[in-house]
Amino acid sequence: MTNPKVLISDNLSAGVADLLRDAGFAADFRPDISRSELLNCIGNFDALLVRSKTQVDAPLLACARSLKVVGRAGAGVDNIDLDTATRKGILVMNTPGGNSISAAEHTMAMLLALARRIPQADSSMKQGEWDKKRFEGIELLGKVLGLLGLGKIGSEVSKRARAFGMKVIAYDPYIPEKYARDLEVQLLPVEEVFARADFLSLHLPLAEATQGLINDETIARMKPGIRLVNCARGALVDEPALLRGLGQGKIAAAALDVFQQEPSPNQELVGHPNVIATPHIAGSTQEAQEKVGFEIAQQVIDYLRAGVVRNAVNFISISSREFEQVAPYLELGEKLGSLLGQISRIRVSEVGIRYYGDLTSLNYKPISSSILKGLFQSMGIESVNMINAFSQAKERQILIVETSSSRERGFKNLISVQLRNESQTEWVEGALLHRGNLRLISVDGIGLDSPLGSFLLFIRNQDQPGVIGQVGTMLGNNGINIASFTLGRHEERGEAIGVVNTDSAIPADLLRKIQALPAVQFAARVRLDRK
């Protein structure tokens, strides 16, 4: 891709555009672009860089005819329609750790403000009052801080809270015990965190299971007088339930940086005397803005230039080192999928992919995506790519089964791809030999060894003399040069498979003549040149 075009539609550092331009990209920095202008111009861009202001929704994505990647400078992707982006094959990446320190420090500022009622005292002073008694606070020392989520931000908060002498407990079903012990944090079920915490801080991603997690039922389980901090996602909290908890005194106070409706939050909640509110600024520091902007720009550069995927939220992320390891197998996988799709005669309900040898130790998910991409493109699904291949399978109710095996198969690396339905199975196997030599190793269990070139003739025939000679003569008489002719046989079944690599495509009328040969049971011309 020459000179990819990138639109920056939110307020990132101006140096981000310079970084993109230095990399040979055409960068358009328009942080004040209107919605109508964005809809009109987005079709011209290969990449879009945003923060939380730009709504990357279905109408916008419908206009984005050239868009390949959306980069979110920051962690949250609530403003991006991931399902639509995935269906359209648009990669979405974020920078989940770029503002961790800023968000953690803001959380601590909220904790301290809650404990000492600093904003209320400041407001009172500005009104000419001197009311020491009303603003008596509490110490953090010895208090129990409950963290819901012990990821990067939650971990940084735990370190700072412990420095204040707090006891930290946490709920996170995906964090190993050892990791928590190293932080001197006790992992507990969520019910115990609710029951024991004096302060509760939210650091969970927004998902179906976490939406509205703080509600009437969970508030009822909390310790009376608990203080709540939410610098994560507004939708984690049922705001009417929070107001009821505040009104009943079950929740002593709350500090909120995020809300269900932004930028127009519930004013009854924002204006409550025991609520401290900030306008979604936990990650907004000079340092964080610089960092996440440059990080997402570099990720977009690496993806569009080299295909390296980092911090993807709708595709498997892969490091530069992992990409170097799997890159040679991406073409093999795509060609095997494409070949199988072009020679298959069954209606597919399941795709089985098995990896052998060295491949079992690699991050093979991108290879599976390449296989599905080749398969589905050969089936006429033009919009499929590596990003949306799995979602395309799900939409068509095709089950994908990935497995790996340490069983020796005679090759250091081997990929097996099967198409299945209730009564039939067809499969191919391939391997990558030295110097990037892609080989077809077997078809339906019949062994052979054929290059995977650009143009192939695939034949199933009765295992009898003269077939190879007839086909070779017909190709030669029609000016088709044969690069290689490989034969595989199943003597017990009396079947043979022929794979002919040619220098050019086989005309349709010649294919029909080959199909009409008495010994030929099936013949197909195959193109693997990524046309």
- Identify the pLDDT of residue 1: 58
- Selecting among 203, 233, 354, 525, the annotated active-site residue is 233
Examine residue 263 and say whether the peptide bond preceding it is cis (omega within 30 degrees of 0): yes
Give the pLDDT score at 382.
58
Task: Out of 212-216, 315-319, 381-385, 412-416, pick the least confident.
Answer: 381-385
pLDDT of 490 higher than 80: yes
Q: Which of 51, 87, 117, 280 is catalytic?
A: 280
- pLDDT tens, position by position, 346-371: 888 899 999 999 899 888 989 999 99
SS3 138: coil
Q: Which residue has the higher pLDDT, 226 or 177?
A: 226
Residue 262 bears catalytic tag: yes
SS3 at position 493: coil
Q: Tell me what the mean pLDDT of segment 244-262 comes to.
A: 97
531 pLDDT above the threshold of 60: no
Give the integer Cα–Cα distance in Å for 235 and 491.
65
pLDDT at 409: 81
Mean pLDDT of the chain: 92
- Burial pattern 302-326, b for ≥16 Cβ within 10 A else e, equals bbbeeebbbbbbbbbbbeeebbebb
pLDDT over threshold 70, residue 530: no
Separation of alpha carbons 150 and 169, rounded Å: 10
Length of the chain in terms of residues written: 531
Task: Considering only residues 152 and 65, tell me which one the structure prediction assigns the higher pLDDT.
Answer: 65
For a pLDDT cut of 70, what percent of the chain falls above it? 99
* Structure confidence by residue, pLDDT tens digits, 86-112: 888 899 999 877 888 999 999 999 999
Report how far residue 325's alpha carbon sits from residue 313's, in angstroms, rounded to the nearest whole number. 22
Fill in the amino acid letter for 153.
Answer: I
How many alpha carbons fall within 13 Å on the CB side of residue 409? 24
Residue-level pLDDT at 383:
63
In angstroms, the CA 517 to CA 214 distance is 72
What superfamily does domain 319-444 belong to in CATH?
D-3-phosphoglycerate dehydrogenase; domain 3 (3.30.1330.90)
Q: What percent of the chain has pLDDT over 90?
A: 73
Mean pLDDT within 476-505: 93
Write down the architecture of domain 100-277 according to CATH. Answer: 3-Layer(aba) Sandwich (3.40)
Rounded CA-CA distance 491/279 in Å is: 75
Instruction: Report the C-alpha gap between 413 and 517 in whole angstroms.
Output: 37
**Cα dihedral: 368, 373, 379, 380 (round 10):** 170
pLDDT in tens, 185-207: 999 999 999 999 999 999 998 87
With CA atoms as reference, report the closest residue to 420 among 325, 527, 347, 503: 347
φ and ψ at residue 31, rounded to 5 degrees? -65, -20
Q: List residues bridging with 501 in a β-sheet.
A: 456, 484
Q: What does the DSSP 8-state code read for residue 151?
A: S
- CA–CA distance, 338 with 373 (Å, rounded to integer): 8
**Residues β-bridged to residue 94:** 72
pLDDT higher than threshold 70 for residue 505: yes
Per-residue CA distances from 513 to 161, 176, 478, 526 (Å)? 79, 64, 11, 16
| CA quadruple 361, 366, 371, 374: dihedral, nearest 10 | -160
Is 117 a catalytic site residue? no
- Which residues in 160-313 belong to E strands, given as ranges? 167-171, 186-187, 199-202, 226-230, 251-256, 275-277
**Can you tell me the distance from the alpha carbon of 24 to that of 61, in angstroms, rounded to the nearest whole number?**
25
H-helix segments, 206-284: 216-221, 239-248, 267-270
pLDDT in tens, 377-421: 888 775 677 888 888 888 778 999 999 998 878 888 999 999 998
Residues facing residue 356 across a β-bridge: 405, 414
CATH superfamily for domain 453-531: ACT domain (3.30.70.260)
Give me the pLDDT at residue 102, please. Answer: 94
Instruction: Give the residue carrying structure tokens 């006891």.
Output: 167
Note whether 152 and 232 are within 8 A (CB).
no
Give pLDDT tens digits for 115-160: 999 999 999 999 999 999 999 999 999 999 999 999 889 999 999 9
pLDDT 10s digits, 323-334: 778 888 999 999
Q: What is the pLDDT of residues 5-36, one digit of tens each?
A: 999 999 898 899 999 999 999 999 999 999 99
Residues of the chain with CATH 3.30.1330.90: 319-444
Active-site residue identified among 21, 30, 160, 262: 262
Give CATH 3.40.50.720 domain extents, the chain.
Answer: 5-97+287-306, 100-277
CATH class of 5-97+287-306: alpha beta
Burial of 160 by CB count in 10 Å (0-12 exposed, 13-18 middle, 19+ buried)? middle
In this prediction, residue 190 carries a pLDDT of 96
Query: So what's the pLDDT on residue 115?
Result: 98
Whole-prediction pTM: 0.58
Question: Is a pLDDT exceeding 90 seen at residue 220?
Answer: yes
Angle in degrees, 0-180, between the axes of helices 118-126 and 100-116, rounded to the nearest 10: 60
